[in-house]
A and B are shown apart, each in its own frame.
Chain A
Amino acid sequence: MTIPIVPTSQLVSAHGYLDRVIEELRVLESPQKNTLVNVLQYLSDHIRITRDEIGALRTGGANPQMFSTTADELEEIVTETARAANRIMDAAEAIEQAAAEAPAPLATKLTDAVTNIYEASAFQDITGQRITKIVRALQSLESKLNSLVCAFGPLAEGESAQGRDGDEALLNGPQLEKNASSQTDIDALFDSL
């Protein structure tokens, strides 16, 4: 028996190829064919089930724009918080200017309060970086899901390996608070190097 090899990475083509092999095996008279046919049929059935499940993703009401919409909304949060932070800063700078004309004890109190506002305003930078990380994760997930749904094939070689190396591997953004190093930790580490 000669079966033409169809070079493709697409699951849909591979499935058709598998079914053709099964049909060609069925007509053989070899006594060992049944075991092989059963195994191949088992594989074929599972591929069909998987295809149906992925097909349901396309037709089952899932919004294909869900990820990009969510990413857009998260980016909007970054924009809005930046706007809010700048308004807070406008107000703090106005207080600081007024403090310069106030009597000494009051001026000191006002300036200290303004310093606290400046420090606290850094939240926008931290939350912005965290949200950006989430947006990138969503975009990556969206890309992979689209590949799966549209091409219906396995991930391209190397696509699953998202490992970064060199300096790029050092860019991880803010750590979660429970894992984060404090300034004291950083100082101790820095001094030990």
Chain B
Amino acid sequence: MALKDMRVFIVDDYNTMLRILRNLLRQLDINNVDEATNGDTAYQMLQRTPPDLIISDWNMQPVTGLDLLKKVRSDAKLKHIPFIMVTAESKTENVVAAKQAGVSNYIVKPFNAETLRAKIASVCPAMV
């Protein structure tokens, strides 16, 4: 599968960040992008249509990105999907907690387009 056929789901409670992600993904030729502004809505949408990749913020209420990650990893239908956390939470304990919960990779905000491309390539090597 090529990047242009890839289905990506992005989650962030800041609409501006969703827009940034969508634009940067488009520049990577990824146009098939769904989005949600909180973890709860995201999980419902993910269950309906599982994507090829999930990119999520951490700091959201009431369902955080870490909560969403745990839900995804405990859902038989979704647990195989690569999950990239994109967050300003950059303490060691955050990365450890995310890794223990099964995150596929971790991007610290602010990030650049090349970092996003590299992380997508690392978790979806067959598509890049």
Pair B24/A82 contact, Cβ less than 8 Å = no
Pair A171/B89 contact, Cβ less than 8 Å = yes
B66 in complex: contacting residue of A115, A121, A167, A189, CB < 8 Å: A167
Most chain B CB within a 10 A radius of its CB, from A122, A175, A190 = A122
Counting contact residues on chain A (CB < 8 A from B), the size range is 35 or more
Is B46 an interface position by the 8 A CB rule?
no
Is A17 an interface position by the 8 A CB rule?
no
- Residues of A close to B125: CB separation below 8 A: none
Pair A111/B27 contact, Cβ less than 8 Å = yes
From residue 72 to 93 of chain B, which have CB atoms closer than 8 A to chain A? 88-93
From residue 168 to 193 of chain A, which have CB atoms closer than 8 A to chain B? 170-175, 180-183, 185-186, 189-190, 193
Is B127 an interface position by the 8 A CB rule?
no
Pair A122/B108 contact, Cβ less than 8 Å = no
Q: How far is the CA of A115 from the CA of B94 in the complex (A)?
A: 28
Pair A122/B64 contact, Cβ less than 8 Å = no
Within the complex, the shortest CB–CB distance from A182 to chain B, in Å, comes to: 7
Pair B92/A170 contact, Cβ less than 8 Å = no
Pair A86/B19 contact, Cβ less than 8 Å = yes
A-B contacts counted at CB < 8 A amount to: 108
Per the CB 8 Å criterion, the residue count for chain B at the interface is 36
A181 in complex: contacting residue of B24, B59, B91, B111, CB < 8 Å: B91
- Residues of B close to A167: CB separation below 8 A: 64, 66-67, 97
- Residues of A close to B90: CB separation below 8 A: 174-175, 180-181, 185-186
Pair B108/A182 contact, Cβ less than 8 Å = yes
Pair B95/A190 contact, Cβ less than 8 Å = yes
| Known A85-B16, A126-B88: A181·B97 in contact at CB below 8 Å | no
Pair B64/A171 contact, Cβ less than 8 Å = yes
Pair A89/B15 contact, Cβ less than 8 Å = no
- Residues of A close to B115: CB separation below 8 A: 183
Pair B95/A124 contact, Cβ less than 8 Å = no
- Residues of B close to A181: CB separation below 8 A: 90-92, 108
From residue 1 to 23 of chain B, which have CB atoms closer than 8 A to chain A? 12, 14-17, 19-20, 23
Q: How far is the CA of A93 from the CA of B97 in the complex (A)?
A: 36
Q: How far is the CA of A97 from the CA of B125 in the complex (A)?
A: 29
Is B121 an interface position by the 8 A CB rule?
no
Residues of B within 8 A of A (CB): 12, 14-17, 19-20, 23-24, 27, 58-59, 64, 66-67, 88-97, 99, 105-113, 115
List the 8 closest A-B pairs by CB distance, nearest first. A174-B88, A181-B90, A122-B110, A125-B17, A193-B99, A125-B14, A85-B16, A119-B112
Residues of A within 8 A of B (CB): 82, 85-86, 89, 92-93, 96, 111, 115, 118-119, 121-126, 128-129, 167, 170-175, 180-183, 185-186, 189-190, 193
